[in-house]
Amino acid sequence: SCDTECVGDTKKQPMSYCMVNFVVCQLFALVTAFWFRLYLHPSKTSPFIRHVVATLLGFYLALFCFGWYALHFLVQSGIAYGVMIFTSVEHMHKYCFVVTLGYLCFCQVTSAYVFDYGMYSADFTGPMMVITQKITSLAFEIHDGLMKREEHLKPSQKYLAVRKMPSLLEYLSYNCNFMGILAGPTCSYNDYIAFIEGRWYEPKHLESNGKENGKFKQSDPSPKRDVIQKVCTCALSLMVYLVIYTICPTVRIIDDTFMASNPFYIQVFYLYISMLALRPKYYFVWTLADAINNAAGFGFNGYNTDGTPKWDRISNLRILNIEFATSFKMFLDNWNIQTALWLKRVCYERCPYNPTAATFLLSAIWHGVYPGYYLTFITGIVVTMAARAVRHNVRQHFLGSATLKLIYDVITWFSTQMAICYTVVPFVLLAVGPSLKFYRSVIHLHQYVSIPGQALMSLTPAVTDSPPLTDDQYLSCVQANKQNCLSSPHNNWLLDPHTAL
């Protein structure tokens, strides 16, 4: 196991022993997933057997990767299940949220400060973050299913609501199955149970037209093509990360010699390249996790217009949309999608006071105790608010022609990439000292941004000068947002009717 072997500075070693261990386990899970789909198919095997095998394989991978630290997965899940069973359904979701998140924070503190600071390349708290998402999501879904009336639930909440308490086996299988134990992604409990019981494809067939329904009803759609594409994406992402990030590590941006010997524009270009080379590490982890679930038959999301199956139900990112994002919102919409959905469902939709700030705060707490995380998400709140204001004031002036729209897209793409780099660097550096040193090194960036920004803002009235929405306009915005929710389950949880454009 890697709990005693992972030594050295992980920020200087792009591929540590722990990460090799993790990759080997995920490749084993990928092969096992094909076997699980073919030989333990729901038509051949009972749900009980599928639950048992998925859970035992998950525990084996966890023990292999993290040693006895993997027992924390069982302890966290066991405590939360006890809360679900022995407390009233009326308040159970709140208790589960506090207990589960509190246990995660306790483990993160011990991992960061009791053991080795910065040793996060294959930290055992990583899987606990996903388990925390699953437990808290399930607690709210049980509360919605057993306590709330149907008419008080939103359409998405009706679909997610759990109408009976899960058995211990179902609960452990959902939290610790081999497909998602190491890297997720998070999924809804109802979707997972439908997959185990073989009901996963039925609603998707009903969504298709009669011809497609007849064509595909006789056999399950094959994930082979999508799995191959995702594995190739993983290989390319890993190669880019190992080659380019080794040459351009983020920590060099705060090196005194580097800052003194390079002009401002070279530092900005280096920062962009470094962040560009860092993202493929996440592309690799999340895309491989998605491929594992697809290989097991989980993640089917209906058919494309040409009749080919879609396997993006639990995908965690859309790479092209991330790299060519022209707004902070677009970047967030396509990055870590399942975590964004979790934040939306357990916090943003339910928090009565300042849900945007509360959501960013929860995201920071969930990520860990390193100060850099909090600096990143506090900065994210400011950037989000600023992006809303600028878009509200400026965008309409560039919609008159295709040329102006292209100019606007180029400017906003560059601004978005710089905003992401500026926001995310503390997340990578982790500590306060290096993060503040980075902020000081780029403080003059505000001079380059603020002058054209003030010029653009002066062309238009302030947001507060806009007339309030009439009742009809407000209802139209609400209906439009609801339609977006139904057509795209990953729609942005940061957008409300008063900021919709």
Using an 8 Å Cβ cutoff, are 178 and 57 in contact?
Answer: yes
Whether 354 is catalytic is no
β-sheet bridge partners, residue 41: none
Q: Among 21, 336, 491, 492, which one carries the catalytic annotation?
A: 336
Instruction: Give the residue from 29, 497, 84, 486 showing the smallest Cα distance to 234.
Output: 29
Q: CA-to-CA distance for 101 and 136, rounded, in angstroms?
A: 8
CB neighbours of 337 closer than 8 A, spacing ≥ 6?
Answer: 315, 316, 317, 318, 490
Q: CA-to-CA distance for 433 and 223, rounded, in angstroms?
A: 47
Instruction: Verify cis geometry, omega within 30 degrees of 0, for the bond prior to 185.
Output: yes
Using an 8 Å Cβ cutoff, are 62 and 73 in contact?
Answer: yes
Q: Among 51, 72, 143, 367, which one carries the catalytic annotation?
A: 367
β-sheet bridge partners, residue 335: 317
Q: Is the torsion defined by CA of 235, 241, 242, 243 positive or negative?
A: positive
Whether 336 is catalytic is yes
CB neighbours of 260 closer than 8 A, spacing ≥ 6?
Answer: none
Q: CA-to-CA distance for 328 and 379, rounded, in angstroms?
A: 12
Q: CA-to-CA distance for 449 and 390, rounded, in angstroms?
A: 12
Q: Which residues are catalytic?
A: 336, 367
